[in-house]
Amino acid sequence: MTLLAEAGTQVLTSAAGPSCYSRLTNEWVCGQYLSDRRQEIVDATVQHIWITVVSVLVGLVISFPLALLARRLPRLESGILAVTTGIYTIPSLALFPLLVPFTGLTPTTVVLGLSLYALTILVRSLLEGLRSVPDDVRESAVGLGYSRSKLLLRIELPLALPVLIAGLRVATVSTVALTTVGSLVAYGGLGNLIRDGVSTNFRAELLTASVICVVLAVLLDVVLVLAQRVLTPWTRGARA
């Protein structure tokens, strides 16, 4: 009876036709793929978000003192900008393998590489944001007895936020795309699925991972826009 039941199941499956992502059909849009590989897709998406967010935050932490140093010592500004721009010109296919001997085949390799790429955008946006603060505002704060650190934290940085967040949005969207290259060291989030989809001509996997990347970029950009509106309420009044 068991054999008969199994045979009946196989006949029903054959009669229903192959899966929409089988080698026989290989469709671009396949709901069954999303259902069958849901956990794999979720894991890749979570890894992609984690790598992107950590990379941008590390890049922001590194770029902050560089921007302050460039502003304090103008003669170093061109050198700092040249170095950060030069790093961005290194192809990711070359940068990640160069880091592997030092960081190994770990997420650290991807995070460090992406953080270095983000510097060229973040350092410039920090510098431009600080320069956008009116001189009379600085002079008024100094006249009220603000120290250099209080002037930076309470006056300059809040007023520089619109420009800084604009640069942060560009860096974040760029990092979402560049994270896929982390598949070179097996930590590319959705890039791992894209690589497998390309190498095996797996259309549903390739399209699904690509679409999720675009959606992630849009969602993170929206989050930063909302964060700017919350952190800089005075700009809403100015636009109105």
Q: Locate 180 and state its tokens.
A: 């896929």
Task: Look at residues 48, 59, 70, 81 and name the one whose alpha carbon lies nearest to residue 170.
Answer: 59
User: How many helices (H) and strands (E) in the chain?
Assistant: 12, 0
Predicted model pTM: 0.84
Exposure on the CB side of residue 184, measured as CA atoms within 13 A: 19
Q: What is the pLDDT of residues 151-196, one digit of tens each?
A: 888 888 888 888 999 999 999 999 999 898 888 888 888 889 888 8
Domains and CATH numbers, the chain: 27-231 (1.10.3720.10)
Q: What is the pLDDT of residues 13-41, one digit of tens each?
A: 444 556 777 767 777 778 888 888 889 98
Residue spans of beta strands (DSSP E) within 25-176: none
User: What 3-state DSSP class applies to 114?
Assistant: helix
Q: Is 202 a residue whose pLDDT tops 50?
A: yes
Q: Is 213 a residue whose pLDDT tops 80?
A: yes
Task: Look at residues 217, 184, 209 and name the one whose alpha carbon lies nearest to residue 113.
Answer: 184
Instruction: Report the C-alpha gap between 211 and 219 in whole angstroms.
Output: 12
